[in-house]
Structures are given as structure tokens and as C-alpha cells.
Amino acid sequence: MFLAHGSAAAILSVLLAVTNVTSQAFAQSAPAKPEGKPAVIVMDDERIKLAEIELREAGPAPIARRLMVPGTIVPDAGRVAHVSVKLSGTVAELRKNIGDDVVKDEVLGVLESREVADAKSEYLSARLSNELQQELTARDKSLWEGRAVPEQQYIKSRNAAAQTEMRFGIARQKLMALGVTDAEIAGLPQAPDGSLRSQNIRAPISGRVAERKVESGTAVGRDSLETELFVIVDLSRVWVELAVSSTDLPLVKEGQPVDIALRGLSETGAGKIVFVSPLLDRETRSARVVASLPNPDGRWRPGSFVTAGIAVERRDVAVAVPFAAVQTVDGRKAVFVRTRQGFEKRDVVPGRRDGAVVEIVSGLSAGETVASSNTFSLKAELSKPGDED
């Protein structure tokens, strides 16, 4: 029994030795991965298009050092209009409400006013008197030239014509001061009598109605009554109000470009500094700085908190790529360079960043094309296990 057990152990030892030798032989015969070979992701143009990967050529670009300052979006003060009445009356009609878009000179509402009725009547009377007197003066001039009337009569008629013309001009200016337009004044002689007491309220600028402060039937005008009817805001361009500390103020100048980023979102925009206050706030020791920002699509809403990057220093770098092109792979910064087969992972050393652009100090040459969007998919493709032989 002891011999049988010893024989079995000896046989097991021999089998283990043979297995070990065989494994070493297979390991030696398997092709080893060559070290230092660049990581390549095979992709043709069709796959790149389907993956929505954008390509961008690396090259020189200006890189700015930016002073980061918090700010707030506010309406451009030159693009806010308070529509007020210039006479006492009653709101007869309102044609616009909050949120409505308006264009310059569009009718917002209609007032009924005894004051404007009196002014229009005075204008029509002065106009008629002036026309009659001008005709009399022209007749007297003709008679005087023909020696039919004495010169004194012509001089008296001419003075009367000058006075009626002056009264007519004053009546016209009074209507314009009340807000009656030239076109409305020209149409008064043909207007029906019932319209004399009506006064149109027009938009002084194009924009959007931000406030409507009255309702139909409201008495407006003097004697402590409401005078402001609407507030119109044109948000096609807005301001960014910044507070710059006194230590950073020497770096800030009017005309400098500013990058604006909406806090918590990826929205960005480009503006320009239009005002640097010469005064410092007594408590915060900071100065008010205003940047103008285009807002054609209305995405920059007044009241929003933003971060502004003021370009205080610029220099040109030899190689720069979009910041989205740089990924971290195995703890190193890398970009994916376009090759004939697809993309090659290339380790790089990034330098200074300026918004969506980053300098590449080494690892990439100007003129090489890199993937600039959806690079996460390339990184994921690179981390997939390869096929085993």
C-alpha cells in the first residue's frame, strides 16, 4: 500500500514538470507586444463622420492672460425707454401687453384728453387764420405794386401775416410737445371731429415691453397721477457690470476684449469694456467696470450672474489646439492625431490656456490635424481590450 502511494506521487511530480516545461515553451513562442509602439485607433472617414468627431489643425494662435472677475448682466442704459404721458387724460385703449415685441413709432395705446383736443382745435384755428391772412397779404402786395392801395395798408397787412404765421407755428410746436407726430398733425384738417380728443402713445424705440403700469380707463397725467405707461427694453445688446479691485484696476482699460461665461452653464460670449469708473467704492474699494455684450438671440438675461475674463496680456504661441482636444489617458495629457489609418494617441505637454484654446508646449507640431470634439469616444475606444491571438 505504501509503495502504491509513493508511485502515485512520483508520477504526479513528473506530470507537473512536463506541464511547466510546456507552458514555458508556449510563452516563449507567443508574439510579444512591441514596447514603444504608438496606440492607433483604426477609423475611416465614414466612421469619423458617424461619430461626429470634428477635426482641427494645430497651429499658431494668440493666448491671453485673463483677469477673472464676477459680474451681472444688466440692460444697456441707452436701450431702455420709459414711455410717459405729456398731458392729462384717460387711457382709452391699450394695444400692447407685457412681453410683446414692438418696433419704433408703433402705437402702444390711445389716450382721450381734453388738453390735446384744445391744442388741436387751437392749431386748426391758427392754421385757418394764417392761410386767410397770407392770401390777404398777397392781394394787398399786388394792389400796392399796382399803386391801387397805399403802402401803409400793405405794411399793416404784412405785419398781420407775420403774427398769424407765428401763432400758427406756436400751435404746431405745442402739439409736438404733447407727443403728436408730424404725420398726425398733417392729417388733422381731414380728421373727423371725434378723433380730436384722441392721442396715440407710440414706442420711442424697438424692443420688448418689460412693464405695463396702467389699465384701460386709468386717469393719467398731472396732479399726482401716474405718468409712466410702459417700459420698453431692447436686449439686442446688454451690459455686464463688473467690480474690479483697486489692485487690479491698473490692468483694465476701455476697449479691452472680455470673455463672458454664464455660471453653471457652457454659455460663453465675447464683449468689450466700454467704461471704467474713475471712482472707487468707499466700502469695497473696487471700481465699477462696464462691458458691452451683443445679445442678438436674447440668451443673456438681465440679472444673470456671470464670470468675465478680461484679457490683460496677449502673446502668440506656435502651437495651439482646442481645449476639448486634450484628454487625460493613463495619467498623462494626450491628443488624438489624425493619421491614414485613423487616430494616433500622442502624449503632449499643455501650456497656458485661454478659454477654449490651449497652448501645446511639446508633443505636437503645427500643421498636424487633431480630433477636437467627442474625444471621449476615442479615449473609450483606446481602453477596450484587444483581440487575443
Q: Where are the domains of the chain?
A: 40-61+316-382, 66-77+235-314, 81-112+197-233, 114-195
Q: How is domain 66-77+235-314 classified at the CATH fold level?
A: Elongation Factor Tu (Ef-tu); domain 3 (2.40.30)
Q: Name the average pLDDT for the chain.
A: 84
CA 182 to chain centre: 35
Query: What is the percentage of the chain residues whose pLDDT exceeds 70?
Result: 87
Q: What are phi and psi of 285, to 5 degrees?
A: 60, 35
CA–CA distance from 353 to each of 62, 66, 255, 317 (Å)? 10, 10, 22, 11
Q: In residues, how long is the chain?
A: 389
Own/partner pairs for 113-118, CB < 8 Å, 24+ apart? 113/87, 113/88, 113/89, 113/197, 113/199, 113/221, 114/89, 114/197, 115/87, 115/88, 115/89, 115/178, 115/221, 116/87, 116/89, 116/175, 116/178, 116/180, 116/196, 116/197, 116/198, 116/199, 117/196, 117/197
* pLDDT (tens digit per residue) in 158-174: 999 999 999 999 999 99
Q: Taking phi first (over 0 means left), then psi (-120 to 50 degrees means alpha), and beta for anything else, what does residue 355 get?
A: left
pLDDT tens digits, 293-305: 999 988 899 999 9
Give the separation between CA 44 and CA 342, rounded to whole angstroms.
6
Rounded CA-CA distance 123/182 in Å is 13
In the structure, what pLDDT confidence band is assigned to residue 129 with cuts at 50, 70 and 90? very high
Q: Which CATH class is domain 81-112+197-233?
A: mainly beta
Residue whose entry in the numeric block shows the C-alpha cell 410683446: 100
pTM: 0.64
Q: Which fold has domain 40-61+316-382?
A: 2.40.420
pLDDT at 8: 47
pLDDT digits over 199-212, tens only?
Answer: 999 999 999 999 99
Helices (H), 37-181: 45-50, 114-145, 151-177
Contact call for residues 287 and 244 (beta carbons, < 8 A): yes
pLDDT at 18: 37
Q: In whole angstroms, what is the distance from residue 276 CA to residue 110 CA?
A: 42
